[in-house]
């Protein structure tokens, strides 16, 4: 993955307010770290955020969350082992504790990256599917996607399948998974095969495919012939079909968020969610995420257009065909790294990283009612460094479960909070 220069961050809502809010949240979390810590080292309660014991030990990072067919939370992560090798691991929350950690894969030549990481999902027939990235041809940025499945809740896994059929030594990553029908695995990813073609421009593309239970690859499709180089993709299911979101890249280096919709005749043409007009000749490593229910689609994303950093959401009520103007949801100095879920009223709950000082950040969450952002909820302090990665959230009933990475020591943490809460600021 190419390393972009540092972005300028905005100072859009008043330094005094942020200083007060930051001091309040740091005091709150610091007090809880001392007085509210149980014997096993987990937090008790902070701002209605209830810490859950993490199944991931020191050396873990890059968490991802999903729900299984029974509505239980699945957590996957990357684990550095004592011999300095790496494993992709998972655990399932049974309502009061995590089951035993299970290894999805290990002893492979992984491509390990803070922003491009493994994921897990549940299929319609109850199977689990997961993916990771594996180096190919010995190049620094030549790696491919590997997809596996399990029919016994992660105790054993199939042989890996590679969903891209180009056979070229190039970048393939930033994958989003979904369940297609009863047993197929759907994938959308960034594909760099053009960089390995002598007569082609060095551009990333967006591609998608299905992997069947037998490993057959079908419905391969090119979604966009030119996209941003290293931003995450996102996907959600609407009443009318699936939507895919990603950061696009125009010929003029405008890096705004695009959406495509699944239609009876195939994928729609890409459309911008909003014309941020962010001109940036590099990759910000900050992709969008999307949540949907019925015909409502909400996209959350980071932009620094016009030298002002923002986390925005935009809502569609027609399945992603059109979007209302964006609503800003950050606390004044965001780093982005967003995720989003919806409550019962289709209000988005957004999580992101907010800068609080040199190498100090907070994981924040906020519910947006219509065009009105609610109060900020502090999840945790963390580092602003790349190793802190991307917080992920999933809705489970009346709660939101959030997973994030803290640094020094490097470890995945997990907590939950109710969808509704009393303002704390």
The per-residue pLDDT for 47 is 52
62, 93, 104, 177 from 123: Cα distances, Å:
22, 18, 16, 10
As a whole number of angstroms, the distance between CA 362 and CA 381 comes to 4
The 3-state DSSP class for residue 15 equals helix
Specify burial of residue 274 (Cβ count, 10 A radius: 0-12, 13-18, 19+).
Answer: middle
Kindly state the helix (H) or strand (E) to which residue 23 belongs, with its residue range.
Answer: helix 15-35
The more confident residue out of 422 and 134 is 134
The candidate with the shortest Cα–Cα distance to 245, out of 229, 261, 230, is 261
Give me the mean pLDDT over the 127-150 stretch: 94
- The answer, yes or no, to whether residue 12 has pLDDT greater than 60, is no
Query: Are 106 and 85 spatial neighbours (Cβ–Cβ below 8 Å)?
Result: yes
Name the least confident of 9-13, 235-239, 367-371.
9-13
- The answer, yes or no, to whether residue 10 has pLDDT greater than 50, is no
The per-residue pLDDT for 139 is 80
**Reported confidence tier of residue 134, pLDDT bands at 50, 70, 90:** very high
Kindly state the helix (H) or strand (E) to which residue 32 belongs, with its residue range.
Answer: helix 15-35
Q: What is the pLDDT of residues 149-179, one digit of tens each?
A: 999 999 999 999 999 999 999 999 999 999 9
- The answer, yes or no, to whether residue 18 has pLDDT greater than 80, is no
- The answer, yes or no, to whether residue 234 has pLDDT greater than 60, is yes
Q: What is the pLDDT of residues 74-120, one digit of tens each?
A: 999 999 999 999 999 999 999 999 999 999 999 999 999 999 999 99
- The answer, yes or no, to whether residue 132 has pLDDT greater than 90, is yes
Tell how far CA 84 is from the center of its chain.
26
As a whole number of angstroms, the distance between CA 403 and CA 52 comes to 10
- The answer, yes or no, to whether residue 309 has pLDDT greater than 60, is yes
The per-residue pLDDT for 380 is 96
The per-residue pLDDT for 140 is 84
As a whole number of angstroms, the distance between CA 218 and CA 119 comes to 21
Indicate the Cα dihedral angle 193, 197, 202, 203, nearest 10°.
-40
Give me the mean pLDDT over the 287-310 stretch: 98
Give me the mean pLDDT over the 343-354 stretch: 97
The candidate with the shortest Cα–Cα distance to 389, out of 350, 341, 348, 335, is 335
Report the percentage of the chain scoring pLDDT > 90: 84
The more confident residue out of 40 and 292 is 292
The per-residue pLDDT for 90 is 98
The per-residue pLDDT for 420 is 74
- The answer, yes or no, to whether residue 194 has pLDDT greater than 80, is yes
Query: Are 287 and 247 spatial neighbours (Cβ–Cβ below 8 Å)?
Result: yes
Give me the mean pLDDT over the 290-306 stretch: 98
**Reported confidence tier of residue 346, pLDDT bands at 50, 70, 90:** very high
As a whole number of angstroms, the distance between CA 268 and CA 259 comes to 9
The 3-state DSSP class for residue 216 equals coil
């Amino acid at each position: 993955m190419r390393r972009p220069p540092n972005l300028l961050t905005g100072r859009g809502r008043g330094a005094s307010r942020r200083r007060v809010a930051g001091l309040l949240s740091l005091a709150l979390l610091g007090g809880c770290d001392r007085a509210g810590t149980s014997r096993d080292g987990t937090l008790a309660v902070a701002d209605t955020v209830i810490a859950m014991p993490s199944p991931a030990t020191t050396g873990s990072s890059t968490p991802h969350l999903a729900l299984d067919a029974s509505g239980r939370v699945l957590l996957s992560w990357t684990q550095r082992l004592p011999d300095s090798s790496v494993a992709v691991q998972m655990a399932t929350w049974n309502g009061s504790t995590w089951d035993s950690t299970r290894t999805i894969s290990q002893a492979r030549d992984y491509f390990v990256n803070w922003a491009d990481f493994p994921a897990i999902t549940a299929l319609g027939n109850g199977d689990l599917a997961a993916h990771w990235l594996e180096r190919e041809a010995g190049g620094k940025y030549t790696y491919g996607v590997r997809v596996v499945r399990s029919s016994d809740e992660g105790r054993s896994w199939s042989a890996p399948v590679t969903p891209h059929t180009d056979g070229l030594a190039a970048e393939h990553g930033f994958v989003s998974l979904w369940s297609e029908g009863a047993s197929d695995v759907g994938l959308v990813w960034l594909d760099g095969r053009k960089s390995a073609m002598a007569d082609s421009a060095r551009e990333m593309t967006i591609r998608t495919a299905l992997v069947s239970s037998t490993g057959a690859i079908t419905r391969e499709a090119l979604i966009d012939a030119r996209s941003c180089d290293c931003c995450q993709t996102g996907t959600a299911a609407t009443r009318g079909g699936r939507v895919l979101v990603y950061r696009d890249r125009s010929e003029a280096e405008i890096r705004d968020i695009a959406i495509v919709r699944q239609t009876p005749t195939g994928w729609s043409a890409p459309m911008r969610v909003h014309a941020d007009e962010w001109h940036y000749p590099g990759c910000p490593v900050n992709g969008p995420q999307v949540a949907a229910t019925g015909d409502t689609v909400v996209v959350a994303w980071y932009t620094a257009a016009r030298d002002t950093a923002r986390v925005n959401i935009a809502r569609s009520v027609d399945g992603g065909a059109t979007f209302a103007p964006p609503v800003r949801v950050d606390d004044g100095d965001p780093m982005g790294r967003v995720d989003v879920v919806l409550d019962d009223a289709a209000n988005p709950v957004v999580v992101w990283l907010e800068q609080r000082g040199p190498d100090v950040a907070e994981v924040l969450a906020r519910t947006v009612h219509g065009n009105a952002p609610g109060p900020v909820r502090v999840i945790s302090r963390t580092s602003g460094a790349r190793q802190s990665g991307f917080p992920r959230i999933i809705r489970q009933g009346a709660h939101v479960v959030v997973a994030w990475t803290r640094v020094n020591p490097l470890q995945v943490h997990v907590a939950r909070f109710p969808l509704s809460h009393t303002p704390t600021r």
